[in-house]
Structure 1
Amino acid sequence: MTALTKKIRKPNWKASMLILLLCLLALLAAYTFLFLKHDADAVDLNSQLMPMSFDHPFGTDHLGRDVLTRILLGAQLTVGYAFMALLAAIAIGLPIGLIAGYKGGRLERILMRIADTFLAFPDTIVAIVLSGLLGPGIENLLLAIVFVKWVNYARLVRSTVVSERQKEYISMAKINGLGDGQIIRKHLFPHIIGNVLVLASLDLGKIILLISSLSYIGLGAQPPAPEWGAMLNDARPYFQSMPALMIYPGLAIVTVVLISNVLGDYLRDKFDVKKEVQS
């Protein structure tokens, strides 16, 4: 049996785990929205703190709202907000890293010194301070996250471009008359995209944790939005009487972060990216 055949037949547990988790989430969402059809914001004081049942598989909260429906709709908010912040950070950091790495010189030093200034403080601390200064609200929280996350992508892209621009094929491309835009698009971007995808997949879980934790302390999404961190905060007074109200959103956060990390490991292996990307 050749090495190639062994590689093909070797099971990829990371991909299998991702597919299994996504299928389970899809089935759960289909059951909730096709058969139960609860209104996530409908208050029913006669159905407060109900235990698990066929109509309410995860029970109801202190206002009689279906917990499962709110958790699944909360995925749209928590994960959707995280994607928005992630894409904005990449949109800012990638071109800055490209310009700094490709042009070099004084421009590179200025841009990297600005990036180093942001890296002097922990991401979480800066996000908390900015959210506190801007005021509670998911828009201000997303702005604070983008403000601290773009630096990682700028530095990653810059280091990749600096490493590649010194190689002979870049010099040959310039000799053959290719412009800067063509060199970046045809030769540098394929090297950048793998590193960026790996870092983004790992960052997604961190951003979800950041959104949920700041929403939990009141700096992110505000009630009655079914955001997982806000749901944890709402359920806190009922932890002793009905701990499931906090367990379910917590498990949702853990599951999505786990998927994000497994996806990052899978992409890192697929693109053969060095482990320094995780730092």
Structure 2
Amino acid sequence: MSVMALSQKKIKKAKVWLIGIIFLLVMAAVAYTFLYLKYDAAMTDVGNRLASPSGEHPMGTDHLGRDVLTRLMLGFRLTVGYSVLALGAAVIIGVPFGLLAGLKKGWIDRIFMRVADGFLAFPDTVIAIVLSGLLGPGIGNLLFAIVLVKWVNYARMVRSTVLTEVQKDYITIARINGLSTVSIMRKHLLPHIVGNVLVLASLDFGKIILLISSLSYIGLGAQPPTPEWGAMLNESRPYFQMNPEMMVYPGLAIVVVVLAANVLGDYLRDKFDVKKEVQP
């Protein structure tokens, strides 16, 4: 494939990535704008339940007369916010563990690998369901379970990168010059890790949204009347035949946001994967 063809392919991917970013930003802006609208996401109006879309309620109302559009926009902030919180905690816990295991090796590395193997022996969803079931329903317990599941991925990835980098001459020279372990981490290893962490986090973001939504749907995550998208799907399930739009809107929102997040993840993966860059 020629350099020009590769360049055109990259431009197309960049355009798709840009569309995904713009969409997420627009959704976030709209969601925060709804903070100032007249409807309260928890305000009920039983006399106006299951109303069809209208000028007053563009997406209609649910089984309790609550405005669906308001709840959908608030659900964006909650679902995405919960996902960012869980993802951030997993990164904050996993990266230092990976650095420590890769640099110190020995018994620390052996213990870490046994723990990691235990977590990776089962699918993330299965472990999250078991932990959430043991801890009890609730978004706090669900987020805790997701962090316990996800931090291992970041620790293993960082450990692998560190084990590769510490074999190189510049790390040996840094140690000969008397740099402490912390200084080596901060000055030499973190710059090599940041790109990989960003790629993994962006690809994980959509998975965490799906995990939160799916477990909330089966009653292990956010509880009614919290307008989290999975919980909204759960609440609207008995009314699907009467008013299918109640399930379509949050389901479609989940699909679109996860797709946008995956587009961003694919772009970052191509951006930081030097093997895919055109070599001079």
Structure 1 position 79, deviation (Å): 1.1
Conservation of the 8 A alpha-carbon contact between 2:21 and 2:260: no
Conservation of the 8 A alpha-carbon contact between 2:215 and 2:230: yes
Matched residue, 1:76: 77
Structure 1 position 83, deviation (Å): 1.1
Matched residue, 2:176: 175
Could you say what secondary structure the match of 1:39 adopts? coil
Conservation of the 8 A alpha-carbon contact between 1:85 and 1:146: yes
Matched residue, 1:17: 19
Conservation of the 8 A alpha-carbon contact between 2:24 and 2:257: no
Matched residue, 2:129: 128
Distance 1:224 1:4 in 2: 50
Structure 1 position 163, deviation (Å): 0.5
Q: What is the letter of the counterpart of residue 125 of structure 1?
A: V
Q: Kindly tell me: are residues 274 and 133 of structure 1, through their superposed partners in 2, closer, same or farther at Cα, counting changes over 3 Å?
A: farther
Q: Kindly tell me: are residues 219 and 11 of structure 1, through their superposed partners in 2, closer, same or farther at Cα, counting changes over 3 Å?
A: closer
Conservation of the 8 A alpha-carbon contact between 2:90 and 2:151: yes
Q: Kindly tell me: are residues 31 and 58 of structure 1, through their superposed partners in 2, closer, same or farther at Cα, counting changes over 3 Å?
A: farther
Conservation of the 8 A alpha-carbon contact between 2:28 and 2:76: no
Could you say what secondary structure the match of 2:197 adopts? helix
Aligned residue-pair number: 274
Matched residue, 1:163: 164
Conservation of the 8 A alpha-carbon contact between 1:101 and 1:162: yes
Could you say what secondary structure the match of 1:204 adopts? helix
Conservation of the 8 A alpha-carbon contact between 1:195 and 1:273: no
- Relative to structure 2, which stretch is displaced further, 17-26 or 146-155? 17-26
Query: Aligned ranges for residues 195-234 of structure 1 at < 5 Å?
Result: 195-234=196-235
Structure 1 position 51, deviation (Å): 1.1
Conservation of the 8 A alpha-carbon contact between 1:268 and 1:274: no
Structure 1 position 183, deviation (Å): 1.2
Conservation of the 8 A alpha-carbon contact between 1:131 and 1:140: yes
1:119 and 2:130 aligned: no
Q: Kindly tell me: are residues 157 and 240 of structure 1, through their superposed partners in 2, closer, same or farther at Cα, counting changes over 3 Å?
A: same
Render the CA deviation track for 1:119-175: whole Å, top value 9, x for unaligned: 111111111011111111111111111111111011000000001110111112222
Q: Kindly tell me: are residues 136 and 213 of structure 1, through their superposed partners in 2, closer, same or farther at Cα, counting changes over 3 Å?
A: same
Structure 1 position 117, deviation (Å): 1.1
Distance 1:45 1:247 in 2: 21
Distance 1:26 1:83 in 2: 13
Moved over 6 A (4+): 1-11
Matched residue, 1:37: 38
Matched residue, 2:90: 89
Q: What is the letter of the counterpart of residue 216 of structure 1?
A: Y
Distance 2:48 2:83 in 1: 32
Query: Aligned ranges for residues 50-61 of structure 1 at < 5 Å?
Result: 50-61=51-62
Conservation of the 8 A alpha-carbon contact between 2:31 and 2:74: no
Q: Kindly tell me: are residues 73 and 259 of structure 1, through their superposed partners in 2, closer, same or farther at Cα, counting changes over 3 Å?
A: same
Distance 2:113 2:7 in 1: 45
Distance 2:74 2:6 in 1: 44
Distance 2:10 2:212 in 1: 39
Could you tell me which runs of 5 or more consecutive residues in structure 1 were left unpaired when the two chains were aligned: none
Could you say what secondary structure the match of 2:64 adopts? coil
Q: TM-score with structure 1 length normalisation?
A: 0.91
Matched residue, 1:189: 190
Q: Kindly tell me: are residues 7 and 248 of structure 1, through their superposed partners in 2, closer, same or farther at Cα, counting changes over 3 Å?
A: closer
Conservation of the 8 A alpha-carbon contact between 2:116 and 2:152: yes
Could you say what secondary structure the match of 1:12 adopts? helix
Conservation of the 8 A alpha-carbon contact between 1:14 and 1:262: yes
Conservation of the 8 A alpha-carbon contact between 2:51 and 2:62: yes
Q: What is the letter of the counterpart of residue 18 of structure 2?
A: S
Q: TM-score with structure 2 length normalisation?
A: 0.90
Q: Kindly tell me: are residues 23 and 148 of structure 1, through their superposed partners in 2, closer, same or farther at Cα, counting changes over 3 Å?
A: closer
Distance 2:135 2:32 in 1: 38
Q: What is the letter of the counterpart of residue 170 of structure 2?
A: Y
Distance 2:222 2:119 in 1: 25
Structure 1 position 6, deviation (Å): 7.4
